[in-house]
Structure 1
C-alpha cells in the first residue's frame, strides 16, 4: 500500500527536556527482539559498522516497535525498503557518542558556555542516562533510527548523512521553497519516510530526520500519551533467561 501523498513535514520545536523526562513510565515488559530476522525490513547496524566500541552487531527493538516497523514498511512503494540503522543502544555507546560530540562542539565553538554546548549536543545525541525515571531514549528499545533504500540496497538521498551534524538534518529543513531538483528529491524521500513512520504510530525527533520513537517518554511527550510503556532495558544473558524460566516454573508447581 503506497501512502505517499507528498505532504509537507510540519515544523516542530524540540521537546521540553524537563517536561518529557517527568513523564511517568508504566513498564510493559515488552521484550527486545532482533530486527534482522525480518525479510521485510533491512538492517544496517551503523555504529557497529563504524567500529564504535561496545556497539552491537544487531538492531534490537521492543516487540511492539518491531510490529510497527513492519507496518511502516508495508506502506512504502514496492520498490523501496525501510532500513533500520540503530535501535536499542548500550549505555556505554550513548556515553561515547555524547562525550565525543560535546568535545567536538566545544573545540569548534570556544565562545559557547557549557550549557550552550550541551544544548547544541542534545540536538543530535541525548545525554546518557540510566535513571529509571528518565532513561536515554535509545536505552529503552523504543527509539529507532531509520532510512530508505531501493531493493538492491542503494540508500536513497535524504539530504544529509545519518547522524550528520548539520542544520539540514532537522526533519523539516528541506521544506523551504526554491530547492533544486536534487534537493527536492531528498525532500520527497524524507516526506515518504515521515508519512510511513507516522502512520505506523511513531513520533519523530524534530532535529533528526532518521529518529523515531514508540512507547518511550519521547513518544509519550510528542503523542500526548499520559505515560510511557518503556523504561531502560538490557539485553538478557543466558543466566537471566534461565533464572526467569526456573522462577516461572517453580511458581507454577
Structure 2
C-alpha cells in the first residue's frame, strides 16, 4: 500500500522501462510498530558491534540507516523499497540485496558506491532514471529506497513542506 499519487508515478516509471524489465516494489507503507521494531533491531546490531556506545552516538548511527519514527517515510505511505526484475521475476544485479546494511555490504548499499559491478551500476542508474523522471527521490544510503511527498522528498526537492505525514487509520 502506498499513496495514490506515488502509485500513479510508479506506473508511469514502469511504462518507461525497457521491454523485459519490471519494477518490483518490495515494501511500501509500513506501520509505526514495524518501523520501531526495525529501529530496535538495527540499534541492537550496533550495540553488539560497539559495546559501551553511548545513547547519543547510537541514535546518530542508527538514524543514518533507519529513519526515526517521527520522520520515517514508509510510515507516511510515501516511500517504496524497489528493485528491478526480469520477465521471470528474477532480480537484476543491483550490487546488494535490498535492506543490506552498510556494515554487512561494505558500504555497497549506498547508491553511489564504487565497489559494485558495471552491470549493477547500470541497473541502479536505470532505476534512478525512470523513478526520478516521475519526481521520486532516492535516499542515498539505500539504493532501493525512493519516495515522493515525504519530508526527505521535500528537503531534497526544495519543496516548502512534505505533502504527506504519517498514515492515521
Which of structures 1 and 2 has the bigger CA Rg? 1
Alignment partner of 1:86 out of 1, 10, 27: 27
Tell me the equivalent position of 2:120: 186
TM-score where L is the length of structure 2: 0.92
Tell me the equivalent position of 1:118: 59
| CA displacement at 1:136 relative to structure 2 | 2.0
Alignment partner of 1:157 out of 86, 93, 105: 93
TM-score where L is the length of structure 1: 0.62
| CA displacement at 1:117 relative to structure 2 | 2.1
- State the secondary structure of the residue aligned to 2:43: helix
| CA displacement at 1:120 relative to structure 2 | 1.8
| CA displacement at 1:63 relative to structure 2 | 0.3
Tell me the distance in 2 between the aligned counterparts of 1:117 and 1:151. Answer: 42
Runs of 5+ unmatched residues, structure 1:
1-59, 130-134, 237-253
Tell me the distance in 1 between the aligned counterparts of 2:15 and 2:29. Answer: 22
| CA displacement at 1:138 relative to structure 2 | 0.9
| CA displacement at 1:86 relative to structure 2 | 0.7
Matches within 5 A, 1:10-29: none
Runs of 5+ unmatched residues, structure 2:
none
Matches within 5 A, 1:157-236: 157-166=93-102, 167-174=107-114, 183-234=117-168, 236=169
Instruction: Tell whether the 8 Å contact from 1:205 to 1:212 is kept in structure 2 after alignment.
Output: yes
1:204-225 alpha-carbon deviations (Å, 9 max, x no partner): 1110001111011111100111
- State the secondary structure of the residue aligned to 1:157: coil
Tell me the distance in 2 between the aligned counterparts of 1:188 and 1:149. Answer: 14
1:97-147 alpha-carbon deviations (Å, 9 max, x no partner): 000100111111225432222222222211123xxxxx4211111111100
Instruction: Tell whether the 8 Å contact from 1:124 to 1:163 is kept in structure 2 after alignment.
Output: no
Tell me the distance in 1 between the aligned counterparts of 2:95 and 2:61. Answer: 20
Specify which structure has the higher proportion of helix: 2
Q: How many pairs are equivalent? A: 165
